[in-house]
Chains A and B, each alone.
Chain A
Amino acid sequence: MALSGIQIFKYLPKTNCGKCKFPTCLAFAMKLAAKQASLDDCPDASNEAKEILGAASEPPIRLIKIGTGEDLYKVGEEAVMFRHEKTFYNPCGFSRMIKDTDSTDNIKLIISNLNDFVYERVGQHLKVDIIYIKNESGDKDKFVNTVKLVQAGIKRPLILDSSNIDNLKAALDICADKKPLIYAANEDNYETMTALAKEKGCSLVVTSIQGGLEALSVLTEKITGLGFKDIVLDPASKSLSSLVQELTQIRRAAIKKSFKPLGFPVIIFSGRYSDGDRLLEANISAIGVSKYASIIVMNDTSREIMIPLFAMRQNIYTDPQKPMQVEEKIYKIGEANEDSPVLITTNFSLTYFIVAGEVENSKVPSWLVVANVEGLSVLTAWAAGKFTPEKITKLVKESGIESMVKHRKLIIPGYVAVLSGGIESKLPDWKIQVGPREASGIINFLKNYAA
C-alpha cells in the first residue's frame, strides 16, 4: 500500500543533511509519497527503510510480461477501480484458443486468419494479441506439433496449457526462449510447476482445484514463498455471476486492501460460461474488458466479434485526462472533388468522429479540415484561444486545401460564428459560411448546401 509522507518520514535518517537535494527529510518524504523522488537519492537510508519502502512502492498489481522482443504483451500494474480516478494502464490482451485436437488444416486456417486480421483504428494497429495452445488431447507429440505449427505460422506471444508437466516441458524445449505464459499451477503440482517456470524464466498461471479466492490466495502465498512472483490468476469461477464478482473482489483486495496474495493480473475464459454460443462469448468478453480481466481467452475471434471488442478496449483504456486526438490534416469524405464543400473542425477525436460520421451520413462528398487544438472540442478550443482566425488562416494556407478545390468557401462550426469576420479579413479570397451548431444538423445543412 502507498505510504503517506509522515509514514515514510519515520524510516528516514532525520538528519536533514540535504544530500537528496531537498532541504529536510520531511520534504524528501513528501516527495517520495508523491512518487516525485526515489529513495536511491538518500545515501544514508537504512536497509530496513529500503525494504519497507521498496515493498510499499511496488504496484498493487504486478506487471506480467508474456513473450519477448516485438512479440511482448504486458498486463497488470493497474492502480484504480474506476477509470475516471486515474486511468487503466495496460490494455487487456485478447487470446485465441487453439486446441491440439483440431486438425492440422483447421489450425493452419486459424493461423492464416489471425495473420490476415490487422485492424487500424485511431492510429493503432489492432490484432488478436496472444495465442493460447491447449493440450486437449493429453498427447505429448500432438501438443509439441501444434506448438511447432503455430510457431512456424505466426509471431505472437503464447500461452501453453497442459495438465501434464512432461508435455509442458517438451513444448517448452522448443519455445522457452519466447517466454510463453504457462498454464497452470494448482494445489497438487505447484512445486514442480513453479520450479519449471523459474527455470525457463516464464510467467505462470495459478488456479485452485478447491476453488474460491481464499484457496487461491493460500496457493499464491505458497508459490511466492518459493521465491516466484510472476503469477497470473485464474479464479476458475463456477458461474458468470461469480466470475464478475470475483474479478471485482480480486481487484479491490489488491488495490484497496494491499492484499499481496491477489496482487496479480487475472486471466478469464469467456467460453466457460457461453454454452458454445460465440456471440454470448463475445459479450462476456466485453464484461471482462471493463471489469478487470487482464487476459481474455476466446474460442472465436471473427471480425464482427473482435472489432467491437477492440473499440471497447480503446475506449475503456483511454486516459481520461488526455483527450484522444486525431491528426491535423484534410480528411476526404466520400468521393470529394474540386467542387466539394470544405468544412473545418477541431481534432478532439470525439468531435472529429461525430462530425465526420454526420458528413458521411449526409452522402455529400466533402473535405473536412481538422485543426490541431490539442484535442479540445470546438467551443472549448475557442474559449481557450486555440481555435482562432490566425490558426484557421494558417491551416487554410498551409494544408494545401487551396489547391484541392476550385471554390473558396469555408464552412465553420455554428458555435464559432463569431470568428467569421476575423477569418474573412485574413483570408480575403475566402467566403466564410456558418454551419450548424450541433453535428446533428450537418446532414440537413449539407443536403441543402449541395442543392
Chain B
Amino acid sequence: MSFTIPKEIYSGKIKEMSVGNGDKSVKVGGESTFPFLTFEGEIPNIPRIAVEITDVYPEDWADPLKSVYGDIMKDVSGWAKYVEEKIKPDMLALRLIGTHPDRQNRSAIEAADTVKKVVDAINIPLIILGSNHVEKDTEIIQKCAEAAKGKSAIIGKAQEANYKTFAAAATSCGHSIIALSDLDINLAKQLNILLTQSGFPAEKIFMDTMSSALGYGMEYTFSVIERIKIAALMQNDTMMQMPIVNDVGIEAWKVKESKDTTTEVPMGVMWEAITSMSFLSAGGDMLIMRHPEAVNIIRKTVNKLYIK
C-alpha cells in the first residue's frame, strides 16, 4: 500500500470581510479549508485578535488584568491608545458595560461620547460592543454607531430580539455586525437568515455562537464551530459562511480557576490562551481577548502555524 495524502474537496468558502479604513484596515476570514490545513485550501488571513477595553473602570475584572494595566484603565482614551501602541492587536474592542442597567446605566449619549473618544484615540479598527442587555443595547446602538460613522467598525451583538435595530444602525453608518446566538448551529443560521432577509448584506455579518470557557462548556462551542465550518465549506451553505468571532476574554476570566494567582504565570493567562487556541483549532476566525500575555502566546502560535 502506498501513501497518498488524503485530501478533502471543499465546495464553499468563508466570506472575506474588511474592517477599518486605510493602511490599518484588516481582512478577516476568506478561508476555503479547515484550520491549519493549507495543503488542501487557502487561508488568506491568519486569525485576527482584538483586545478588549471597557467604557467604565471594570471593577469585576480579575486582579492579573487590573495589575497589567493599572490606572490607565480609568481613562478610556488613554487605555485605547495604550492597547494600540503596546499590545498592537489587529483591532480594539470597546465593551460598553457601563450602559448595563445593573451597572452605571449610562445613557446612549454618554456611551456615544465614549465611542467618539476611542475613535479619536486609535487608528486600528474598532469593535463596539454593548452590554448584551437586549433592551439597553437597542437603546444605545444607533447613537454609538453614529459616533464611529465612516470608520467601517463592527457593532455588536445583535440578537434575535434586536437585530433590526442593529442592522439599521450598521447600514446607516457603514459598519458590520456581530450576530450572537445561543450555542446552537440552527439558531446561528436562523439569525443570519433573519438579518439577510431584512436586507442586511451577508458580507457584513460576523457570527458569535457564544464562547464558553475552557472547563465550562468549551466543548459545546468547539463542536458548534466545527459543524458550522463543515456546513460552510463542505456543503456550501451560504448562511453559514460568515467568519466566526470568539469573545474569549470575558468568559475565560470569569471562571474560578482564573482567580488563582499562586502560580508563576497567573492561571487566567493560560486559561484565556488555551480557550482561545481551542476555538482557533475548531475554526474561529477572530478572537476578542483581554490579557496581553495570552495575546502574545496566541500570536506566537499563529505565526508558527501560518507564517513560513
Q: Is B256 among interface residues, defined by CB-CB distance under 8 A?
A: yes
Residue numbers in A under 8 Å from B3 (CB-CB): 213-214, 217-218, 253, 259, 261-262
Q: Is B22 among interface residues, defined by CB-CB distance under 8 A?
A: no
Q: Is A252 among interface residues, defined by CB-CB distance under 8 A?
A: yes
Minimal beta-carbon separation of A208 from chain B (angstroms) = 11
* Residues A283 and B6 in contact, CB atoms below 8 Å apart: no
Contact partner of A308 (CB less than 8 A), chosen from B212, B254, B271, B304, is B271
Please name the residue on chain B nearest to A360 by beta carbon: B256
User: A286 to B274, alpha carbons, bound, how many Å?
Assistant: 6
User: A279 to B282, alpha carbons, bound, how many Å?
Assistant: 20
Contact partner of B216 (CB less than 8 A), chosen from A248, A357, A444, is A357
Which of B36, B218, B254, B297 has the most chain A CB atoms closer than 10 A to its own CB?
B36
* Residues B300 and A280 in contact, CB atoms below 8 Å apart: yes
User: A280 to B39, alpha carbons, bound, how many Å?
Assistant: 24
* Residues B281 and A121 in contact, CB atoms below 8 Å apart: no
Please name the residue on chain B nearest to A248 by beta carbon: B37
Which residues between 98 and 137 of chain B lie within 8 Å of chain A, taking CB atoms?
Answer: 102
Q: Is B78 among interface residues, defined by CB-CB distance under 8 A?
A: no
Could you mark each residue 295-315 of chain A with 1 if its beta carbon is under 8 Å from any beta carbon of chain B, else 0?
Answer: 000000011110111011011
User: A319 to B136, alpha carbons, bound, how many Å?
Assistant: 38
Residue numbers in A under 8 Å from B267 (CB-CB): 303-304, 307-308
Q: A241-B306, A277-B300, A283-B298 are in contact. Are A303 and B257 (CB under 8 A)?
A: no
Q: Is A245 among interface residues, defined by CB-CB distance under 8 A?
A: yes
Residue numbers in A under 8 Å from B220 (CB-CB): 350
User: A228 to B293, alpha carbons, bound, how many Å?
Assistant: 46
Q: Is A449 among interface residues, defined by CB-CB distance under 8 A?
A: no
Residue numbers in A under 8 Å from B255 (CB-CB): 357
* Residues A304 and B270 in contact, CB atoms below 8 Å apart: yes
Q: Is A83 among interface residues, defined by CB-CB distance under 8 A?
A: yes
* Residues A361 and B254 in contact, CB atoms below 8 Å apart: yes
Residue numbers in B under 8 Å from A353 (CB-CB): 215-217
User: A283 to B222, alpha carbons, bound, how many Å?
Assistant: 16
Which residues between 200 and 236 of chain B lie within 8 Å of chain A, taking CB atoms?
Answer: 212, 214-220, 222-223, 226-227, 230
Q: Is B186 among interface residues, defined by CB-CB distance under 8 A?
A: no
User: A239 to B301, alpha carbons, bound, how many Å?
Assistant: 12
Residue numbers in A under 8 Å from B282 (CB-CB): 290
Q: Is A291 among interface residues, defined by CB-CB distance under 8 A?
A: yes
* Residues B223 and A82 in contact, CB atoms below 8 Å apart: yes
* Residues B36 and A248 in contact, CB atoms below 8 Å apart: yes
Q: Is A249 among interface residues, defined by CB-CB distance under 8 A?
A: yes
Residue numbers in A under 8 Å from B297 (CB-CB): 279-280, 282-283
* Residues B37 and A350 in contact, CB atoms below 8 Å apart: no
Residue numbers in A under 8 Å from B215 (CB-CB): 121, 308, 311-312, 314-315, 353
User: A286 to B300, alpha carbons, bound, how many Å?
Assistant: 14
Q: Is B266 among interface residues, defined by CB-CB distance under 8 A?
A: yes
User: A259 to B6, alpha carbons, bound, how many Å?
Assistant: 10
Q: Is B17 among interface residues, defined by CB-CB distance under 8 A?
A: no
Specify the main secondary structure of chain A where it touches its partner.
helix
Q: Is A185 among interface residues, defined by CB-CB distance under 8 A?
A: no
* Residues B223 and A83 in contact, CB atoms below 8 Å apart: yes
Q: Is B67 among interface residues, defined by CB-CB distance under 8 A?
A: no
* Residues B6 and A305 in contact, CB atoms below 8 Å apart: no
* Residues A241 and B305 in contact, CB atoms below 8 Å apart: yes
User: A340 to B39, alpha carbons, bound, how many Å?
Assistant: 59
Q: A257-B6, A260-B1 are in contact. Are A283 and B301 (CB under 8 A)?
A: yes
Q: Is A404 among interface residues, defined by CB-CB distance under 8 A?
A: no
User: A304 to B254, alpha carbons, bound, how many Å?
Assistant: 16
Residue numbers in B under 8 Å from A262 (CB-CB): 3
Could you mark each residue 56-74 of chain A with 1 if its beta carbon is under 8 Å from any beta carbon of chain B, else 0?
Answer: 0000000000000000000
Residue numbers in B under 8 Å from A244 (CB-CB): 36, 305
Could you mark each residue 253-288 of chain A with 1 if its beta carbon is under 8 Å from any beta carbon of chain B, else 0?
Answer: 100110111100000000001000101101110110
Residue numbers in A under 8 Å from B301 (CB-CB): 240, 280, 283-284, 287
Q: Is A316 among interface residues, defined by CB-CB distance under 8 A?
A: yes
Minimal beta-carbon separation of B75 from chain A (angstroms) = 26
User: A334 to B219, alpha carbons, bound, how many Å?
Assistant: 28
Which residues between 26 and 79 of chain B lie within 8 Å of chain A, taking CB atoms?
Answer: 34, 36-39, 60
Q: Is A221 among interface residues, defined by CB-CB distance under 8 A?
A: yes
User: A360 to B216, alpha carbons, bound, how many Å?
Assistant: 15
User: A133 to B129, alpha carbons, bound, how many Å?
Assistant: 50
User: A252 to B5, alpha carbons, bound, how many Å?
Assistant: 9
Contact partner of B227 (CB less than 8 A), chosen from A84, A214, A305, A354, is A84
Residue numbers in A under 8 Å from B37 (CB-CB): 245, 248
Residue numbers in A under 8 Å from B214 (CB-CB): 308, 311-312, 315
Which residues between 83 and 123 of chain A lie within 8 Å of chain B, taking CB atoms?
Answer: 83-84, 121
User: A284 to B298, alpha carbons, bound, how many Å?
Assistant: 10
Residue numbers in A under 8 Å from B222 (CB-CB): 83, 290, 315-316
User: A282 to B275, alpha carbons, bound, how many Å?
Assistant: 12
Which residues between 190 and 207 of chain A lie within 8 Å of chain B, taking CB atoms?
Answer: none
Contact partner of B219 (CB less than 8 A), chosen from A240, A282, A305, A315, is A315
Minimal beta-carbon separation of A104 from chain B (angstroms) = 24
Minimal beta-carbon separation of A91 from chain B (angstroms) = 13
User: A273 to B36, alpha carbons, bound, how many Å?
Assistant: 15
* Residues B278 and A84 in contact, CB atoms below 8 Å apart: no
Residue numbers in B under 8 Å from A287 (CB-CB): 36, 277, 281, 301
Could you mark each residue 265-306 of chain B with 1 if its beta carbon is under 8 Å from any beta carbon of chain A, else 0?
Answer: 111011101110110011000000000010001101100111
User: A183 to B293, alpha carbons, bound, how many Å?
Assistant: 35
User: A261 to B3, alpha carbons, bound, how many Å?
Assistant: 9
* Residues A320 and B257 in contact, CB atoms below 8 Å apart: no
- Name 18 extra pairs, CB < 8 A, besides A245-B38, A273-B304: A82-B227, A213-B5, A217-B2, A217-B3, A245-B36, A253-B3, A259-B6, A280-B304, A286-B277, A291-B36, A302-B264, A303-B267, A304-B265, A304-B267, A312-B215, A315-B218, A315-B219, A315-B278
A–B complex contacts, Cβ < 8 Å, 19 sampled: A82-B223, A84-B223, A121-B215, A217-B3, A239-B304, A248-B37, A249-B5, A279-B273, A282-B270, A283-B298, A287-B36, A308-B214, A308-B215, A309-B274, A311-B215, A354-B216, A354-B217, A360-B256, A444-B102
Nearest first, the 10 closest Cβ-Cβ pairs linking A and B are A311-B215, A304-B263, A315-B219, A252-B6, A84-B223, A240-B304, A308-B274, A244-B36, A350-B217, A286-B277
| B→A interface (CB under 8 Å) | 1-3, 5-6, 34, 36-39, 60, 102, 212, 214-220, 222-223, 226-227, 230, 254-257, 260, 263-267, 269-271, 273-275, 277-278, 281-282, 293, 297-298, 300-301, 304-306, 308
